[in-house]
Amino acid sequence: IGAMHMAIYNIVKVGAPILREKAAPVTRFDKKLAKLMKDMAETMYRANGCGLAAPQIGLGKRIVVIDAGDGYGIREFVNPVLSDPVGEEVDEEGCLSVPTYEGEVERAAQITVTYQDAKGTHYRLTAQGLLARALQHECDHLEGILFIDKAISLTAKPKEEERI
């Protein structure tokens, strides 16, 4: 029922110029933005991802959605700015825009993000674990950076039909 007016976007893949561009700040906080973020979330879930940045749907705007699998559900970040990194952690990452590789990336173990919601209200959040990693991965997308640029190891992902 809730999916009545949902739109699913195509996810652009590595090689597309938009993935290498710096995204622009959001300045209009309206119903269109709220709808866009709902559709980004739906697109992410449909692709079995845990994070999606607007450049990945071909839109150069500073918008990120994340579901870190912590039971909170979807988190929406408009104009996110990261600060106060603490510690470092190496773990596996993949990306919906880089379907053929996964790799180990070193990230801050804890990060603070200031951001706005769909209405423009400002928030501040300190995150650890997968949420911290996803925030750093997705905010890199807003700068035109992909995890393959930072990976300390890369392995080819088996094709879907080869997985057991």
Which residues are at the interface with Ni ion (CB under 5 A)? 95
| Min CB(2)–Ni ion separation in Å | 26
| Min CB(121)–Ni ion separation in Å | 26
Nearest to 26 by CA among 74, 77, 70: 77
User: Which of the residues 21, 138, 160, 162 is marked catalytic?
Assistant: 138
| Min CB(105)–Ni ion separation in Å | 11
Cβ atoms 54, 65 nearer than 8 A: no
For Ni ion, the closer CB: 95 or 127: 95
Residue 161 is a catalytic residue: no
Cβ atoms < 10 Å from Cβ of 65: 26
Distance separating alpha carbons of residues 11 and 153, to the nearest angstrom: 24
Q: What is the DSSP track for 58-81?
A: T--BSEEEE--SSSS--EEEEEEE
For Ni ion, the closer CB: 57 or 95: 95
For Ni ion, the closer CB: 41 or 95: 95
Just list the catalytic residues.
Answer: 138
